[in-house]
Amino acid sequence: MVQKAKILLVDDRPENLLALEAILSALDQTLVRASSGEEALKALLTDDFAVILLDVQMPGMDGFETAAHIKRRERTRDIPIIFLTAINHGPHHTFRGYAAGAVDYISKPFDPWVLRAKVSVFVDLYMKNCQLKEQAALLRLQLEGGAKGGAGEGKESAGLLAELSARLAAVEEQAEALSKQLDDESADAAAVATAAHLERKLTGLRRALDALEPGAGNPSSVTSQG
């Protein structure tokens, strides 16, 4: 069963959280509520999230301050943040949102389809990255096994390599389709950049895997691939 991605919804108004849940429920992911910046930071201590929808105007710790805390933490600094605001204070206000680390800035009332489409892109990227991490972990195990194992384990290693190669090919195919989708649409620059980074990681993993094939040389030579 495929693990669902978590999406963090941060807003001090329950009716706004309810509206976000209604819009994003079609994505069939896990939606997590937070009614304040402090509550959001607490949730981020224990769970991994694909994307954060963060209201700007909140009592106490506002969206900008919450985002600054998120970006200062190593564990959470790379999570995409989409700011939601009911008031448009002009270019300076928008610039402050991007300066705080937001990948997008959307004014209320927003188009539900557009918001859902934007969140969907970051969920897809998150899922691909999770798959890539799994493949990298399998590859590390294979490298360790290849260094320690003897000739008697050759058949087992070959089977694992074939399985790993097939899994990686599936991720590569999905990542390529996602990149084409981003090229065809007026996608966010942040989403395109994240997709490009994912493709670079896939390329590195594929090279490392190819180097493990029989006759490709010493497996230890690819341990530095990331």
For the record, the structure tokens of 110 come out as: 């927003």
Could you read off the pLDDT tens digit of each residue along the chain, which spans 226 residues? 458 999 999 999 999 999 999 999 999 999 999 999 999 999 999 999 999 999 988 998 989 899 999 999 988 988 999 988 876 655 556 666 666 667 788 887 888 998 999 899 899 888 888 877 777 777 767 666 655 554 445 555 566 667 677 777 777 777 777 766 666 555 566 667 667 767 777 777 777 667 666 555 444 433 334 4
Return the pLDDT at 10.
97
Instruction: Give the span between the Cα atoms of 20 and 115, in whole angstroms.
Output: 9
Residues 6 or more apart whose Cβ sits within 8 Å of residue 30 = 4, 5, 6, 7
Q: Range(s) for CATH 1.20.58 in the chain?
A: 117-222
Beta carbons of 123 and 49 less than 8 angstroms apart:
no
Q: Range(s) for CATH 3.40.50.2300 in the chain?
A: 6-110
For the record, the structure tokens of 33 come out as: 């509520």
- 41's enclosing H/E stretch is helix 37-46
Instruction: Give the span between the Cα atoms of 223 and 91, in whole angstroms.
Output: 47
Judge residue 111's burial from the number of C-beta atoms within 10 Å of its C-beta, 0-12 exposed, 13-18 middle, 19 or more buried.
exposed
Return the pLDDT at 7.
97
Class of domain 6-110: alpha beta
State the alpha helices, DSSP H only, in 83-188: 91-99, 112-148, 154-184
- Beta bridge partner(s), residue 81: 52
Class of domain 117-222: mainly alpha
Beta carbons of 60 and 156 less than 8 angstroms apart:
no
Residues 6 or more apart whose Cβ sits within 8 Å of residue 127 = 2, 5, 50
